[in-house]
Structure 1
Amino acid sequence: MEDPISDNIHNGDIEWQPLALTLVEYPKGDWIGKFFAFISLSPFGIGAGFIALILFRRDLHTIAFFCGVLLNEALNILLKHSFCEARPLARGHLYNEYGMPSSHAQFVWFFSIYVLYFVVIRLHHINNNSIISALWRVIIVGGCMTLALLVCIGRVYLHYHTTYQVFIGSLVGCLFATIWFIIVHRIFTPLFPQLVSLKFCEMLMIRDTTLIPNVLWFEYTTSRQEARTRGRKLAALKPTQ
């Protein structure tokens, strides 16, 4: 039986379509462009981080945050097919999607603004290390904002989007992050205690850390105390010489 795909390959008739999702072009020999090309891949790293957090922490707020990211991407696709505005630079068959609004800008600003709300509202616990805690909050928020600005500059520098397309994407991301955080904080969060008590959530070990003022500090002190307790038990079990 003849294989039509193999015949097309041998005859040179098949047309190969690259997966443009992770393909970023930059001018050859332009180190600034290469830097911005690497920065453009940051949304994929953030997405991988979300999956890792959900698998290992299984916290409802993290899951809700990730659901917001997915809804934000769906909103971007809807807006792109509503505006139908082309990219500033044609790249042949590599990129056949629209450029308005910028999905990268919308993603990073949704992520950054949501993190800002989370740090300001959720991580408000005051302890003896208040200066260090405040410094970490500044570093986290500042790092997210810096990343968002670099991604936006890179999308314009590499001619994937116009300045206006990046601006609209950033604006939509900020607005949707605000709306989604309010929904999660006001509507979903009060339901989390009931959700974690469900048998399905218990089987998946899904937890709710909403009532813990500073989740990072709590997990740090708890794990440190548990490690010390287990260390003393192991030392007590060792036979004396």
Structure 2
Amino acid sequence: MSEDNLIYNSSEWKTLSFTYVEYPKDDAFGKFMAILALAPLWIGSAFSGVILRCRDLHTIFFFIGILLNEVLNMTLKYMIREPRPAVRNNYYVEFGMPSSHSQFMLFFTTYTILFLLKRLHHNSPLEKIVRGLVIAFCCIITALVCYGRVYLLYHTVSQVFVGACIGASFGFIWFLFVHVILTPFVFPRIVSWKISELLLIRDTSLIPNILFFEYTATRQECRARSRKNMKMQ
């Protein structure tokens, strides 16, 4: 057993409610790190709602990339088989190289930044500010989650670093694949399928700001229906 393994004592750690995430007792910062460790769960849940609401192919394939990133992480874990720095209860996979949290967060942040810079290119001052705030928020949360994995003894620095590099690299590659190959050549075919029409699957790749587009389209439709109702009266 390594020196790091000896640092962990289960009697001195507490489990976050409704989760298996552990943090040192009476350590407010450790508890905060444990809460942030749930970020991948929050993001995955948010994707489910966004996909059901928007039915957009780009969002769907963003989520598919996240799933593939997780498969890649589990494959590497069982190939490398490097143990975690601390022996814990049987809640976690015993292997820690690479860190799944750091790989997840770097994939998500890398893809999100590329998406914001490439897709949302209306250059209004407000949009620039919002885009900058979102990018800063993603980077800060990602850095805190990665630090928390080391602080809570779930991973070594090298495990987090390797996971971060793999996640960022795969996020960049997956974005290029979606943007360069799928968007121009595959998405138009998918939306033409009967099943896509049935499930209301759509491709909004050519719309630079879908929120602004939906807002203006809804406003115009409401005005048109209002004028139609007034004429009928």
Q: TM-score, normalised by structure 1?
A: 0.84
Q: Relative to structure 1, is the Cα distance of residues 27 and 231 closer, same or farther in structure 2, using a 3 angstrom cutoff?
A: farther
Instruction: Give me the whole-angstrom Cα distance separating, in 1, the residues matched to 2:52 and 2:91.
Output: 34
Instruction: Give me the whole-angstrom Cα distance separating, in 2, the residues matched to 1:44 and 1:229.
Output: 42
CA deviations on 1:122-154 (whole Å, 9 max, x unpaired) are 11124xxx1001011101111111110110011
Say whether residues 1:197 and 2:177 are aligned partners.
no
Larger Rg: 1
The structural deviation recorded for 1:24 is 0.2
Tell me the residue number matched to 1:98.
95
Q: 1:177 aligns with which of 171, 178, 185?
A: 171
The structural deviation recorded for 1:23 is 1.2
Q: Relative to structure 1, is the Cα distance of residues 37 and 230 closer, same or farther in structure 2, using a 3 angstrom cutoff?
A: farther
Say whether residues 1:89 and 2:86 are aligned partners.
yes
Q: Relative to structure 1, is the Cα distance of residues 92 and 120 closer, same or farther in structure 2, using a 3 angstrom cutoff?
A: same
Tell me the residue number matched to 1:208.
203
Q: Relative to structure 1, is the Cα distance of residues 139 and 231 closer, same or farther in structure 2, using a 3 angstrom cutoff?
A: farther
The structural deviation recorded for 1:232 is 5.4
Question: What 5-or-longer segments of structure 2 have no aligned partner?
Answer: 1-17
The structural deviation recorded for 1:22 is 4.2
Higher mean alpha-carbon deviation, 220-229 vs 150-159, is at 220-229
Instruction: Give me the whole-angstrom Cα distance separating, in 1, the residues matched to 2:204 and 2:159.
Output: 38
Say whether residues 1:166 and 2:163 are aligned partners.
no
1:67 aligned counterpart, secondary structure: helix
1:86 aligned counterpart, secondary structure: coil
Say whether residues 1:153 and 2:147 are aligned partners.
yes
2:35 aligned counterpart, secondary structure: helix
Q: Relative to structure 1, is the Cα distance of residues 205 and 84 closer, same or farther in structure 2, using a 3 angstrom cutoff?
A: same
Tell me the residue number matched to 2:216.
221
Tell me the residue number matched to 1:57.
54
Instruction: Give me the whole-angstrom Cα distance separating, in 1, the residues matched to 2:62 and 2:120.
Output: 16
Tell me the residue number matched to 2:104.
107
CA deviations on 1:43-93 (whole Å, 9 max, x unpaired) are 001001111111111000001100000000000001101110111111132
Tell me the residue number matched to 2:6.
none
The structural deviation recorded for 1:224 is 3.4
Higher mean alpha-carbon deviation, 154-163 vs 87-96, is at 87-96
Q: Relative to structure 1, is the Cα distance of residues 88 and 184 closer, same or farther in structure 2, using a 3 angstrom cutoff?
A: same
Instruction: Give me the whole-angstrom Cα distance separating, in 2, the residues matched to 1:178 and 1:52.
Output: 24
Instruction: Give me the whole-angstrom Cα distance separating, in 2, the residues matched to 1:58 and 1:24.
Output: 33
What letter corresponds to residue 201 of structure 1 in structure 2? S
Q: Relative to structure 1, is the Cα distance of residues 37 and 113 closer, same or farther in structure 2, using a 3 angstrom cutoff?
A: same
Identity among equivalent pairs (%) = 52
What letter corresponds to residue 209 of structure 1 in structure 2? T
Q: 1:28 aligns with which of 25, 28, 38?
A: 25
Instruction: Give me the whole-angstrom Cα distance separating, in 1, the residues matched to 2:116 and 2:90.
Output: 42
1:26 aligned counterpart, secondary structure: strand
Q: 1:139 aligns with which of 116, 133, 142?
A: 133
Tell me the residue number matched to 1:68.
65
Instruction: Give me the whole-angstrom Cα distance separating, in 2, the residues matched to 1:231 and 1:193.
Output: 34
Report how many aligned residue pairs link the two structures: 215
